[in-house]
């Protein structure tokens, strides 16, 4: 346990996420960002029941962190949150209006983010997010495997680290850029020596590539309107019923927030994610065709099925 404490004690009282220092407070789960046991209290419940309980626990923790920041005049942080976790947070946005907050993942392109409660104006000082970026590169590029996001993520998770201590992983030129909690950075650097069959070298970096998933492709589409359902159908080659199902299952996100309105019009610059299919930025309409159709442009990130 002393080994775990060595990497955790620096931020354990200030950082909490869906599984980082969160289940442990309730008598289950993990300790210090390392996987030690499962959330036994919800293991035997159905998938829907587990999800509802997890969401309620998340909301409870958001309330606690907001209240602690407001009452004790100091910053509090969540762990890294995915889009579904952020959807829970945004449901409480009005309730938590008394506490200012900021969302950040280490770079403008990051989807997995942390929430910080408190700001400089109210507290009188600034405190940055406890986020580090680690560049992971093959020791011998000539003999390296072609490494993917899944390869890097699997290698880090195999170290016994909880997902909520990890942010986005960008893969550019066969190098991985791993965002993580500052408290976990040294552990990863010292222990991540291989990704797939490739020996790797890790080091901290502040030179972060301004790209998402290492790939952006401009795609021109033609739609009847700028309704999100029509644009989604064209972007991913889906039928109306398939798109409708995505909205029904709450798998569509616009700028990180769940979108349940399939008829809403998209605006230029908005980023749309469909879980299981991918993500794109809606650039906007370019012109109108002779038949009255809208010629629009989207920027697709990565490959279909990448999210």
pLDDT (tens digit, 9 = 90+) per residue, 154-207? 999 999 999 999 999 999 999 999 999 999 999 999 999 999 999 999 999 998
CA distance 299 to 281: 5
Report the share of the chain in percent with pLDDT over 70: 80
264-282 burial: b if 16+ Cβ within 10 Å, else e? eebeeebbbbbbebbbbbb
| pTM greater than 0.85 (yes/no) | no
CA distance 46 to 213: 33
For 264, which DSSP code?
A: P
Residue 189 tokens, joined: 């650097």
Q: Is 213 left (phi over 0), alpha (psi -120 to 50) or beta?
A: left
Lowest mean pLDDT among 21-25, 69-73, 187-191: 21-25
125, burial (CB in 10 Å: exposed 0-12, middle 13-18, buried 19+): exposed
pLDDT of residue 3 exceeding 60: no
Query: For the chain, which domains are there?
Result: 2-123 (no CATH), 131-204 (3.30.70.330), 216-301 (3.10.290.10)
Residue 147 tokens, joined: 């490494």
In what side-by-side order are the strands of the sheet with 216-223? 216-223, 294-301, 278-288, 270-274, 252-254, 257-258
pLDDT of residue 31 exceeding 90: no
pLDDT (tens digit, 9 = 90+) per residue, 82-93? 988 999 999 999
CA distance 50 to 58: 12
Confidence of residue 244 (pLDDT cuts 50, 70, 90): very high
Residue 111 tokens, joined: 């989807």
Q: What is the full DSSP assignment across 215-255?
A: -EEEEEEEESS-BHHHHHHHHHT--HHHHHHHHHTT-EEET
Instruction: Report CA Rg, the chain.
Output: 21
Q: What sign for the dihedral angle of Cα 239, 244, 250, 254?
A: positive
Residue 108 tokens, joined: 């403008």
Of residues 98, 169, 178, 95, the one with CA closest to residue 134: 178
Q: Which pLDDT score is estimated for 46?
A: 62
Confidence of residue 33 (pLDDT cuts 50, 70, 90): low
């Amino acid at each position: 346990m002393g080994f775990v404490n060595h990497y955790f004690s620096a931020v354990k009282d200030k950082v909490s996420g869906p599984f980082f220092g969160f289940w442990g407070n309730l008598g289950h789960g993990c300790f210090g960002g390392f996987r030690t046991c499962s959330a036994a209290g919800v293991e035997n419940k159905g998938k829907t029941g587990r999800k509802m309980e997890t969401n309620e626990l998340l909301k409870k923790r958001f309330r606690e962190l907001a209240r602690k920041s407001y009452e004790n005049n100091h910053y509090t942080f969540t762990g890294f949150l995915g889009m579904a976790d952020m959807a829970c947070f945004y449901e409480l946005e009005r309730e938590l209006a008394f506490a200012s907050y900021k969302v950040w993942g280490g770079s403008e392109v990051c989807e997995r983010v942390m929430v910080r409660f408190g700001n400089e104006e109210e507290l009188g000082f600034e405190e940055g997010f406890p986020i580090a970026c680690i560049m992971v590169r093959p020791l011998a590029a000539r003999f390296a495997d072609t490494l993917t996001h899944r390869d890097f993520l699997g290698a880090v998770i195999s170290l016994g680290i909880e997902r909520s201590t990890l942010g986005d992983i960008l893969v550019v030129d066969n190098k991985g850029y791993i965002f993580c909690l500052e408290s976990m950075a040294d552990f990863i650097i010292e222990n991540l020596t291989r990704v797939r069959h490739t020996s790797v070298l890790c080091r901290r970096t502040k030179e972060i590539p301004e790209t998402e998933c290492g790939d952006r492709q401009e795609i021109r589409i033609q739609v009847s309107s700028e309704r999100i359902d029509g644009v989604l159908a064209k972007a991913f080659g889906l039928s109306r019923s398939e798109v409708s199902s995505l909205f029904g299952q709450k798998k569509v996100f616009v700028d990180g927030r769940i979108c349940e309105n399939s008829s809403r019009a998209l605006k230029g610059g908005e980023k749309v994610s469909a879980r299981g299919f991918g993500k794109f930025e809606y650039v906007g309409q370019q012109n109108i065709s002779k038949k009255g159709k809208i010629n629009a442009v989207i920027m697709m990130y990565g490959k279909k099925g990448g999210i």
